[in-house]
A and B are shown apart, each in its own frame.
Chain A
Amino acid sequence: MKYVDEFRDHAKAQILVEEIQSLVRTMNLNIERPIQIMEVCGGHTHSIFRYGIEGMLPKEIELVHGPGCPVCVLPMGRVDDCVAIAERPDVIFTTFGDTMRVPGSKKSLLQAKADGADVRMVYSPMDALALARKNPDREVVFFGIGFETTMPSTALTVLQAVRDGISNFSLFCNHITIVPTIKAILDSPDLRLAGFLGPGHVSMVIGTAPFKFIANYYRKPMVIAGFEPLDILQSIWMVLKQIEEGRSDIENQYGRIVPDAGNAPALEAVSRVYELRAFFEWRGLGSIDHSGVTLREEYARFDAEKRFAIPNLKIADPKSCQCGEVLKGVIKPWQCKVFGSACTPERPLGALMVSSEGACAAYFQYGGVKRHHENSERASMKQAGAA
């Protein structure tokens, strides 16, 4: 497939793996205490598992799977709010497919649908707006979720609703912003991350400048990375190279998509429609200041939180959950007390088991269940990779 296979080329991957190996040799790293690189974005986590990238890397490198899966970090209380809105008889509740299974404290949207709520899967917020046009006697609510990547599309949908005078459409806004969360992780005392793969899709919208504090203040390198497997290998090499040279810069590996200045029209739409919340609750990480957005007063009539009475209760994460420690790289998913026992993809207890992009779900699905087994396989994987 053109423009896809080029980025999954086996021979080029081998060259990059060898480059990484030789860099690791010169850096004199310790296998017992591998260097930790966090991929912030859930899309990267997915690619890393799907293409088997972890097994191709030297043991001196450990990938830590970060908080960049918006479905995973949605707190239970917000899911309960969704269910409460969806269960109103006058409402058609529209959502992206992967949020359907996220458990609330009582039920998921999928269960609410089975119980009779009109919950519909859509592929774009514009589909929800079309539904609102078609059903003028119903309230159509779109479940807005995601980082800066999906914010422009919901902002533009709200602006379109304004232009078309559609009054039966509203947005349940759960958009979050990645920068304060990276800062919260960097501020945690047990942190030992050495560098970051930066979120490619978020950066496509916000550009590279908002990440500068990571390099300037925290002295950690970040490489904005694409999502194809060669992108990821190259970005890992670039992070290592910075560490080896004692630099901490924000570099852009994903230049074919990410302009350093971001996407001006998208940013304009976002800042017209949204403003920062004082704080937002994250599953696994707790409350983080200025980490979520809400609709500005001017667009309040499209805000489902204002239009409908919602329970708005804070539901604490289960005590046994160690999602926060996994997110910060303090422990690996399989070291969590409940991984694979009380917490599985069928019955997720913690945030990271919820979506296929969540680190724990990815490990569960793609093979981290028995780490010792995987370790023993690493050598043979590398041989297979070299074949």
Chain B
Amino acid sequence: MNMLPIHRTRQLGKIHVPTVTLAHGGGGKAMKDLIDDVFVSAFDNAALAPLEDQARLDLASLALHGDRLAFTTDSFVVHPLLFPGGDIGKLAICGTINDLAVGGAMPLYMACAVIVEEGLPIDLMRKIALSMARTAQDAGVQIVTGDTKVVERGACDKLFITTTGVGVIRKGVELGTHLAQPDDIVLVNGVLGDHGAAVLTARGDMALDAAIESDCAPLHDLIEKLLVAAPGIRCLRDATRGGLATVLNEIADASQVAIEIKETQTPIREDVRGFCEILGLDPLYLANEGKIVVVAPPESSDNALAVLRAHPLGSSASVIGTICKGEAGRVTMLTAFGGKRIVDMLVGEQLPRIC
């Protein structure tokens, strides 16, 4: 996090009750105390400190990073709020960072809006806010504005977070799902399905005990290195809700190409495979929060793989398939067994609300 000196002119408020009540959403002193105690003290930075209704960003310093603004928003409603490998706060920061990064943008600033259900323990909110702050700081992103609403019990499920991010795209970087071409190579930066499996396990209603951790991580650093070392990358997508299968279908559809992947090359951890076997899930559709699909032209795919593997967030990166002529929009997988299956979009979800 930016360590600029902060010139505070007032004492930060403090909360002395254990849980959030409707009073904390009333717009009065209780709300100010909540925002101060939970968020301002955690996010602590120069742009946020004045607590104006908007953050003010210097255009000239933005322009140092590139020639286009990237702007995105995402809401997070994951249940449970804490899960192995992360929490809703970390997820909300990583998710928006990754949505900016896969467009080739350097993520810089973020807004954070929370909707809290009355009765949520304040300590839990503090923990989640600190997790957001830590994740943002490690990623060099500042949380510069926000909003807090408290709603009656039952009007939301504990805590919903919306993060909105601004980043800047370097001159010359041009990525798009419509740019894939036959003979291009499809890569992923590591094992698939960990987040979906971790969250489903954490819910506890499967009565399964598995030590699977979410892969939740900010990928902008990995992506920046990738774009420098392997120019000509056609597109990047983070394989979140709907998993690898959904992203591949989106690319095949947007580019009007076919994609063929090989099951034997598609990395999935043994315990995630076992988890899917028991529950009848398909890991190709499980959510990830730290995985990207990369489409690279054949001449730079070796470089791309090497850069991914050299990065801590890409050590088990793999080439999983190729873009081919075939029927436009169709994704197929050569199964390890030797057959060939279609990998289509899911109609609904395998199971609801996992990110």
Contacts and interface: CB of A to CB of B under 8 A. Distances in A.
Interface in B265-307: 270, 273-274, 277, 282
B68 interface: no
Nearest to A14: B338
B59 interface: no
Interface string A300-341: 000000000000000000000000000000000000000000
A52 B341 contact: yes
A8 B337 contact: yes
B264 to A, nearest CB: 8
A299 interface: no
B341 A367 contact: yes
Interface in B154-175: none
B274 A385 contact: no
A10 B342 contact: no
Contacts of A10: 336-338
A1 to B, nearest CB: 5
Interface string B324-348: 0001000010111111111010011
| Interface-central residue, B273, B282, B332, B338, by most chain A CB under 10 Å | B338
Contacts of A365: 342, 344
B60 interface: no
Interface in A45-78: 49-56
A384 B341 CA distance: 12
A217 interface: no
A53 B341 CA distance: 9
B322 to A, nearest CB: 13
Contact of B341 (A9, A49, A373): A49
Contacts of A373: 327
Given A345-B347, A346-B347, A381 B339 contact: yes
Given A1-B277, A123-B207, A53 B347 contact: no
Contacts of A52: 335, 337-341
B348 to A, nearest CB: 7
B162 to A, nearest CB: 22
B17 interface: no
B344 A366 contact: yes
A351 interface: no
B339 A1 contact: no
B337 A13 contact: yes
Given A1-B270, A1-B273, A10-B336, A123 B205 contact: yes
Given A1-B274, A8-B337, A229-B337, A367 B347 contact: no
B4 interface: no
A51 B205 contact: no
Contacts, number: 71
B267 to A, nearest CB: 14
B206 interface: yes
Interface string B237-273: 0000000000000000000000000000000001001
Contact of B338 (A56, A122, A127, A345): A56
A50 B343 CA distance: 9
A8 B336 CA distance: 7
Contacts of A210: none
B338 A366 contact: no
B339 A385 contact: yes
A365 B331 CA distance: 11
B134 to A, nearest CB: 35
Contacts of A386: 338
B337 A51 contact: yes
Interface in B199-215: 205-207
Contacts of A1: 270, 273-274, 277
A385 B205 CA distance: 39
B113 to A, nearest CB: 25
Contacts of A8: 336-337
Chain A CB within 10 Å, residue with most, of B206, B327, B342: B342
A13 B342 contact: no
A255 B340 CA distance: 28
A53 B274 CA distance: 22
Nearest to A380: B340
B351 A97 contact: yes
A101 B349 CA distance: 11
Contacts of B274: 1
A123 B206 contact: yes
Contacts of A370: 327
A346 B344 CA distance: 13
Contacts of B206: 123
11 contacts: A1-B270, A8-B336, A9-B337, A51-B337, A52-B338, A97-B351, A122-B205, A367-B341, A370-B327, A377-B340, A381-B339
Interface of B: 205-207, 270, 273-274, 277, 282, 327, 332, 334-342, 344, 347-348, 351
Interface of A: 1, 4, 8-10, 13-14, 17, 49-56, 97, 101, 122-123, 127, 229-230, 345-346, 364-367, 370, 373, 377, 381, 384-386
- Shortest Cβ-Cβ A-B pairs, 6 listed: A52-B339, A367-B342, A385-B338, A345-B347, A52-B340, A52-B341
Given A381-B339, A385-B339, 4 more contacts: A4-B277, A52-B339, A56-B339, A366-B342
